[in-house]
Chain A
Amino acid sequence: MRRRCSIWRSSLVAGMMISTTLGRTNLVVNGSFDDPAEPLKGWRTHYDLPGDSWYARNRELVSVVAQESGRTGVLRLHVPTRDIAINQGVKADSIPIPISPDQRYRFSAWARSTGPNCRILLEGYRWKPGVRPHDNPDISELRKCYKFTQLYFGTVKAGDMGGVGRSWSQASMEFPDAMKSDLQREIYSTIRFVVVHIVAIGGDAGDLLVDDVRLEPIGPIPSGTRSGR
């Protein structure tokens, strides 16, 4: 019994040390795409709501590959033709993630591409009018209200596309930043959930490979910069 307790304590300390060392909680469900039973758990790839006709085949083009250039469990968005690349693209969205207006967050992801460009960003959602808030919302119960700055993988942190390269690289952004306008502040304050939006678009046919998508709280918003609700 003494020995078992000792092992447990050691494990706890080790876990705390690892937690401290490696970082904070990842709010993205299955952001590493390593779920052994359901690799795409926590991700939406099937689009069948009204207005989604461009993405009817989308589900067939999204998968998780076990090994890819030294990484395990990688999201693969396969863009079969250039025509799709320069039109609707192939996309995947995470399930809604509740966020707190008092927190700052860090959003990051690893990616590489063999053809298409990408846009990886967070989208803010609020409840649709008439929907009673609850803990497990479906996307159809939410309404998009905000689009955050996308992740830029290139050296220039601006532009319409993410600029992902052929080798693995990581990009990140933190939010919220100082609000530019009352309109931004007003709409930001209505956000209740965020969704990680990944779309392989632009460029050429090929695969967009994404891994280790993380959304981490990094502490409270400094006083005076809160957006409020």
Chain B
Amino acid sequence: MTYREDVVAHLMALGRQLRRRTAVRQLTLGLAAVLTLWAVLATADVVFRYGLTGRIVGSSMLWLSAVAALAAAAQVWRQPWTPEAVAARVERAFPELDNRLINRVQFVRSAWRDAMIEAYLREPPPPLDQMPISRLGDPRRARQAVAALLIGLGLGVAGYLWGGAAWVNSALRMANPFSTRSPVTLATIEAVEPGHGAVLVGEPATLRVKAKGRAGVPVVLDLWPRDDRRTRIELGRLPGGSSAELSHRLPRVAADFEYRFIVGDAVTPRYRLVAIPPPAFRGLDVEVRPPAYLRAQPRRIVALRERVVAPEGSTLVLTAAANRAMVEASVVTGLSTVRLDRARGEDLWWGELPAAGGRWTVGIRDSHGFVGSASFDVEVVPDPPPKVEIIAPRGRVRLEAGATPAIEFVATDDLGLVRVTICRLTPWDTQTPSRVVAEWNPNGAPTFQQRWTDREAARPEPGRPWMYRVEATDNLPGAKHPRAVSAAVVFEPGTTSGGAAASTTEVAAAASSLSRMVELQKANLAKTTALEQQKVATADAWQAVANVQKEIFQIAESLLADPTKPLGALAQVVRDLHAGPMREVIGVAARVPSAADLERPMLMRRAVTLESAILRALTAAAGAVDRVATHRKITGILAMLDALVQGQADVLHATKELQPGQVAAGLVTRQDRLAEDTSEFARTAAREAEAMRTVDEDFARRLGEVAKECDTRQVPRTMLGAAGHLEQKAPERALPLQEKALADLREFQSRLNEWRAAQAQAQHEAVQQALEAARESMKRLAELQGKVVDAIRQTEQQKDKSDKEMEEFLEELGEIKANMAEALLKIATDLHIFPELPVGNDLVADVYQIYEEVAQVPGSESTPASELGLQKEDWILEALETATERLDDMEMWMVSQPDAVKRNTENFDQQELPQIPVIPLPTELEDIIGDLLEQQEDIMQQADDSATNQGSADMPAGWGIAEGEFANFSAKGKSGNERPDHKDQDGRSLVGREGMSDGETVAGSGKINEGDRNIEARRTQDSAQAGQVQEEGHAEARATGGGKGSGYSDRLGMSGTGRREDAKTEARSELGLQALLRRSAEALYARASMAHIRTGSLEDAVRAMRQAEEAMRRGAPIYEVREFQRRAAQALARARMELGAGAYVPVPTGPARPLMGADDAAPVEAAPPAYRDLVAEYFRLLSETAP
């Protein structure tokens, strides 16, 4: 269809063409606008370096404008044009058409047509198809659009030309605000350290920036500390060229801060560093859980303060509390590294580990990677093995004929014992070197003491003695049972003849030694006397004297240390010499040459006196050696007969227990051995009867008869017959023979006992006579002493006391008095710290009480006790010396919480303390009292302070009334509302509460109120002062200490050196008991000795008891007393063994050991002051290590 045929269709097509052209122009305009905006934004970003917000805003504008342009073009494109609209546009472009086109279109599209219209339509349409279509539209606007587009593009090109890649970068940054493109700067920041993060409080922090740019570009650090104002720091300038790194070090970070770097026009974002405290431990506790078999309670230890000591096999529960949340905790032990578990929260960690010795390090790590650690030492105490101590016999012994090997031992273990055995050793038998001959199960008891006799011991072959060993095993679970093994106990078979021979040899050697000592002493005394008379004081001469005395001293020491005790009863004499004159004279002789002129003659005289005493005693001892030897020999023979009787009686008893046909190899052996021993006894008796005929005819005759009867009655043969029947399993036939043998032996014993009883009786009478004579002598001496004293008094009353004789006399008297005072002033050790009381002997009659109500702080009764150490200070002594008048007091009140502090005070030596001034007392005194606060008993005991002599003459009393660390002599103490600590308290005070004290009462009256419930009786007699204290309403309370000589409250204590006013009591003192024991032992020893009964170690027991008694009397430390008592107990146990099981004598296995035991140690107070602690420690160790 042609244009002419359808104008409307043609116009519609033309309209579409025009519409497309308009849309393109619209789009061109929009594009131009977008490009222009983009160029502007990019240029602005180059200049302003927008942040994210700016970029988002700019980018939003850009994209919105682009969308708007597209939308506008689309709008134009989509909206259709009507033919009339197209015709109108055509008419506007071609005015020459003269509206014909539009008219035609309207007529064509009109429904109503008249003739004119028809005629008009029949006219040809305007020649639209021949018109230049390019004239349609608005070419100017099209050009404008193109121009706008070109401008936009031009701006882009210009921007690129201006900014280059930087401009392009900015254009892209603005196109995509979320891209990571950094704004382009003149300088470039390549890296910042540490960026965001954390740093430890107190630690340094280094901030680094790595940048490049033109030389001279400044680098600046901005800091925003949380706890301070903003700071700007110039770090320097870029050197140009390649990258450079600049840094700034903050020496100590205290709080969070932010920072950024500025390098020229490049700026980093703000970084934040969080300051966090370093990982540390709030607590590090270790709970030591001992193994179950120890039956010990778990113990909690603060590992950061205390050393962790754990028994072997313990489990350690470690609890680490960090100062903040941690992500990991571990512990490195000596064995491994173990991660700890989180307990509760993120700061508490725990772990359960087996105890391992060494250093443990606990490490913690927080979420930032910071770590902290703490170390502590763990000491694992291994379970000590059991101990076995052989009480008897000591060392190698020789068993007398008829005696049976017997051992007394004690096994101990801290855990408990499960098995104790005695093995018989046969080291010559390589197949079975040992065999268990006795076994016990102590069932876990910590101590097991036993006396055991080897009833089955056969007579050993020559060179093969009886050897035993005691073994003890404790109850430690697992395979490793600690075992203790004693040294071998060796019994050498002996015979009476052999024993007698040995005894004779030993006694002969002792006699020889004594003779030697007498000769040496005699010669030395002569030499000393000559030196003294000639007043020679040369060093050589006196050194020679001292050397000889040393030799005598050493011989005596050897004799005393000889285990065979060759001196017998003479040992005590030599021991006294050894401990006294022999030791002293060496020092005296050595001091003579260097002594002052006035002292030298006295020392010479003293040396002569001591040597004379030594010579006298040694001469007497040498003369008595033969008697001692004879006594020992007789005692040995009688002991052997006693052992035979005892042995035969035992065998008879054992035989009666046998069933017919029963095998009793051990019994046969014993009966055989008894037969052999009886034969030996008979031979020895016959021989000794001859030898002793000149010494004691009666005993020799009786002994000869016994020997003869033994042969006549064929006692050994009878015994052998009995042994044969026993071997043939016919005990019923052995019994008559055994009974006959026993009857014969008892008859022999009876004959000799007659002599023994008569001898003892005679000796007893002789001793009694000697004692009576001595008593009479003492009485005469006392009378004489009385006369001397009277003479002294008369001399003192003489008017003229100026003569020299009187002066010397007074000097001597003063010395004696001083010595007496020193001896009398020894007091019990628990009071040795206190100074002598400054006796005021005042009484304050007007003492009044104030009662105070106190509301006790809830829960304070169970406040755990803590300890406080208080050292002695010089100012205390100065204050003591300078106090002159009574000080006023401040506000005082009752405390509302019980004392839970244990004050351990370092005390002054008594010599350090000055004379304490006695401050006058007021006419009235105020006491404050309240009801007792409640406190758990165990805490109360734990909070008991140590006794103290840190004190003051007076004090400005004030504030809470409680027991402090100072004694006070101003009587300002109050009764208070707490029980006094369980300790002796010094000073002056009112009556108050019952308690232990060493002070003086100043209250003229008062009531003893409830206090310490565990008063201990005083062991000293302190002086009571004059005056009577009126007790108000006698309470059933007790108190100790000095004070007034009240006759009422003397139920305990309040006793002085004057008349004792103690109540009658059945309680005996420890010292009295010790003395009683010693006297009993001495009496037993004397009776046994007189009756020719072996005394064995009874002498040692007596000696140890005497030493213990002496130690108690002089107030020695308890360890010293305990050590002597332990020795006495052991000696008694040995004596019981020796007397019960049969006679044996020690066999020396080497040279005599030097005397180094506690027997020979000087008492503590005899040591120089610097060594007293050491000596006391020596006794303590002896006492503690011994079972």
Contacts A87-B958, A145-B850 given: A158-B857 contact, CB under 8 Å? Answer: yes
Interface pair A145/B848, CB less than 8 Å apart: yes
Interface pair B960/A149, CB less than 8 Å apart: no
Determine which residue in B849, B858, B922 has the highest number of CB atoms from chain A within 10 A of its CB, and name it.
B849
A residues near B (Cβ < 8 Å) are: 51-54, 87-89, 91, 119, 129, 143-149, 152, 156-160, 180-181, 183-184, 187-188, 199, 201
Smallest CB–CB gap between B854 and chain A, Å?
Answer: 7
Is there a chain A Cβ closer than 8 Å to B855's Cβ? yes
Smallest CB–CB gap between A130 and chain B, Å?
Answer: 11
Smallest CB–CB gap between A179 and chain B, Å?
Answer: 10
Interface pair B851/A187, CB less than 8 Å apart: yes
Residues on B with C-beta less than 8 A from A183 are 851, 929, 931, 1009
Is there a chain A Cβ closer than 8 Å to B895's Cβ? yes
Interface pair B850/A51, CB less than 8 Å apart: no
Measured in the bound complex, the distance between the Cα atoms of B857 and A157 in whole Å is 8
Is there a chain A Cβ closer than 8 Å to B822's Cβ? no
Closest to A56 in B: B888
Contacts A156-B858, A160-B896, A183-B931 given: A51-B888 contact, CB under 8 Å? Answer: yes
Q: Which of A89, A119, A129, A187 contacts B849 (CB 8 A)?
A: A187
Interface pair A88/B853, CB less than 8 Å apart: no
Interface pair A119/B858, CB less than 8 Å apart: no
Is there a chain A Cβ closer than 8 Å to B893's Cβ? yes
Interface pair A158/B858, CB less than 8 Å apart: yes
Residues on B with C-beta less than 8 A from A160 are 893, 895-897, 959-960
* Per-position binary interface string of chain B over residues 840-855, scored 1 when its CB falls under 8 Å from any chain A CB and 0 otherwise: 0000001011111111
Smallest CB–CB gap between A148 and chain B, Å?
Answer: 6
* Per-position binary interface string of chain B over residues 878-893, scored 1 when its CB falls under 8 Å from any chain A CB and 0 otherwise: 0000000000111101
Interface pair B855/A147, CB less than 8 Å apart: no
Closest to B1009 in A: A183
Closest to A186 in B: B851
B residues near A (Cβ < 8 Å) are: 846, 848-858, 888-891, 893-897, 922, 926, 928-929, 931, 956, 958-960, 1009
Measured in the bound complex, the distance between the Cα atoms of B956 and A52 in whole Å is 12
Residues on B with C-beta less than 8 A from A159 are 855, 857, 896-897
For the complex with contacts A129-B846, A158-B855, 8 further pairs of A-B residues with Cβ separation under 8 Å are A88-B958, A147-B853, A156-B858, A159-B896, A181-B931, A183-B929, A184-B853, A187-B850
Interface pair A149/B931, CB less than 8 Å apart: no
Interface pair B893/A147, CB less than 8 Å apart: yes
17 residue pairs bridging A and B, Cβ less than 8 Å apart:
A52-B888, A54-B956, A87-B958, A88-B891, A119-B893, A144-B926, A145-B849, A156-B857, A160-B895, A160-B959, A181-B931, A183-B851, A183-B929, A183-B931, A184-B851, A184-B931, A201-B891
Interface pair A51/B889, CB less than 8 Å apart: yes
Interface pair B855/A152, CB less than 8 Å apart: yes
Residues on A with C-beta less than 8 A from B857 are 156, 158-159
Measured in the bound complex, the distance between the Cα atoms of B852 and A149 in whole Å is 8
Determine which residue in A143, A147, A149, A180 has the highest number of CB atoms from chain B within 10 A of its CB, and name it.
A147
Residues on B with C-beta less than 8 A from A51 are 888-889, 922
Q: Top 10 A-B pairs ranked by shortest CB distance?
A: A147-B852, A158-B855, A187-B851, A88-B890, A149-B853, A53-B888, A158-B857, A180-B931, A51-B888, A181-B931
Measured in the bound complex, the distance between the Cα atoms of B858 and A159 in whole Å is 9
- Count of inter-chain pairs, beta carbons less than 8 A: 75
Interface pair B853/A91, CB less than 8 Å apart: no
Smallest CB–CB gap between B897 and chain A, Å?
Answer: 8
Interface pair A54/B855, CB less than 8 Å apart: no
Smallest CB–CB gap between A78 and chain B, Å?
Answer: 17
Interface pair B856/A158, CB less than 8 Å apart: yes
Interface pair B853/A148, CB less than 8 Å apart: yes
Residues on B with C-beta less than 8 A from A91 are 891
> Secondary structure of the B side of the interface?
loop
Residues on B with C-beta less than 8 A from A148 are 853
Measured in the bound complex, the distance between the Cα atoms of B1009 and A159 in whole Å is 24
Determine which residue in A53, A149, A183 has the highest number of CB atoms from chain B within 10 A of its CB, and name it.
A183
Closest to A144 in B: B850
Measured in the bound complex, the distance between the Cα atoms of B958 and A160 in whole Å is 13
Residues on A with C-beta less than 8 A from B922 are 51
Interface pair B850/A146, CB less than 8 Å apart: yes
Q: Which of B851, B890, B891, B958 contacts A188 (CB 8 A)?
A: B851
Measured in the bound complex, the distance between the Cα atoms of B894 and A53 in whole Å is 22
Measured in the bound complex, the distance between the Cα atoms of B895 and A199 in whole Å is 16
Residues on A with C-beta less than 8 A from B959 are 160
Measured in the bound complex, the distance between the Cα atoms of B893 and A159 in whole Å is 11
Q: Which of B851, B890, B895, B956 contacts A147 (CB 8 A)?
A: B851
Smallest CB–CB gap between A173 and chain B, Å?
Answer: 9
Contacts A88-B958, A158-B858 given: A199-B891 contact, CB under 8 Å? Answer: yes
Contacts A87-B890, A89-B891, A119-B893 given: A157-B855 contact, CB under 8 Å? Answer: yes
Measured in the bound complex, the distance between the Cα atoms of B895 and A184 in whole Å is 17
Smallest CB–CB gap between B559 and chain A, Å?
Answer: 71
Determine which residue in B846, B848, B852 has the highest number of CB atoms from chain A within 10 A of its CB, and name it.
B852
Smallest CB–CB gap between A197 and chain B, Å?
Answer: 9
Closest to B857 in A: A158
Closest to A175 in B: B853
Measured in the bound complex, the distance between the Cα atoms of B728 and A55 in whole Å is 110
Smallest CB–CB gap between A82 and chain B, Å?
Answer: 15
Interface pair B855/A149, CB less than 8 Å apart: yes
Measured in the bound complex, the distance between the Cα atoms of B931 and A152 in whole Å is 20
Closest to A146 in B: B851
Residues on A with C-beta less than 8 A from B926 are 144
Interface pair A145/B851, CB less than 8 Å apart: yes
Q: Which of A119, A152, A158, A184 contacts B891 (CB 8 A)?
A: A119
Measured in the bound complex, the distance between the Cα atoms of B857 and A89 in whole Å is 23
Smallest CB–CB gap between A21 and chain B, Å?
Answer: 32
Residues on A with C-beta less than 8 A from B958 are 87-88
Residues on A with C-beta less than 8 A from B850 are 144-147, 187
Residues on A with C-beta less than 8 A from B852 are 146-147
Determine which residue in A87, A91, A158, A187 has the highest number of CB atoms from chain B within 10 A of its CB, and name it.
A158
Smallest CB–CB gap between A10 and chain B, Å?
Answer: 46
Residues on B with C-beta less than 8 A from A187 are 849-851
Residues on B with C-beta less than 8 A from A199 are 891
Q: Which of A53, A144, A149, A156 contacts B854 (CB 8 A)?
A: A149
Smallest CB–CB gap between A83 and chain B, Å?
Answer: 12
Residues on A with C-beta less than 8 A from B956 are 54
Measured in the bound complex, the distance between the Cα atoms of B891 and A201 in whole Å is 9
Interface pair B848/A143, CB less than 8 Å apart: yes
Closest to B849 in A: A187
Measured in the bound complex, the distance between the Cα atoms of B137 and A76 in whole Å is 102
Measured in the bound complex, the distance between the Cα atoms of B848 and A201 in whole Å is 26
Measured in the bound complex, the distance between the Cα atoms of B650 and A34 in whole Å is 109
Measured in the bound complex, the distance between the Cα atoms of B929 and A119 in whole Å is 18
Smallest CB–CB gap between A49 and chain B, Å?
Answer: 10
Residues on B with C-beta less than 8 A from A147 are 850-853, 893-894, 928
Smallest CB–CB gap between B964 and chain A, Å?
Answer: 15
Measured in the bound complex, the distance between the Cα atoms of B852 and A190 in whole Å is 14
Measured in the bound complex, the distance between the Cα atoms of B852 and A73 in whole Å is 31
Measured in the bound complex, the distance between the Cα atoms of B794 and A179 in whole Å is 69
Measured in the bound complex, the distance between the Cα atoms of B852 and A188 in whole Å is 10
Measured in the bound complex, the distance between the Cα atoms of B892 and A160 in whole Å is 10
Measured in the bound complex, the distance between the Cα atoms of B852 and A147 in whole Å is 4
Closest to A125 in B: B850
Residues on A with C-beta less than 8 A from B855 are 149, 152, 157-159
Closest to B975 in A: A183
Smallest CB–CB gap between B242 and chain A, Å?
Answer: 64
Residues on A with C-beta less than 8 A from B858 are 156, 158
Measured in the bound complex, the distance between the Cα atoms of B895 and A187 in whole Å is 20
Measured in the bound complex, the distance between the Cα atoms of B245 and A32 in whole Å is 76
Measured in the bound complex, the distance between the Cα atoms of B926 and A87 in whole Å is 20
Residues on A with C-beta less than 8 A from B1009 are 183
Smallest CB–CB gap between B859 and chain A, Å?
Answer: 10
Measured in the bound complex, the distance between the Cα atoms of B891 and A119 in whole Å is 10
Measured in the bound complex, the distance between the Cα atoms of B931 and A213 in whole Å is 28
Residues on A with C-beta less than 8 A from B896 are 158-160
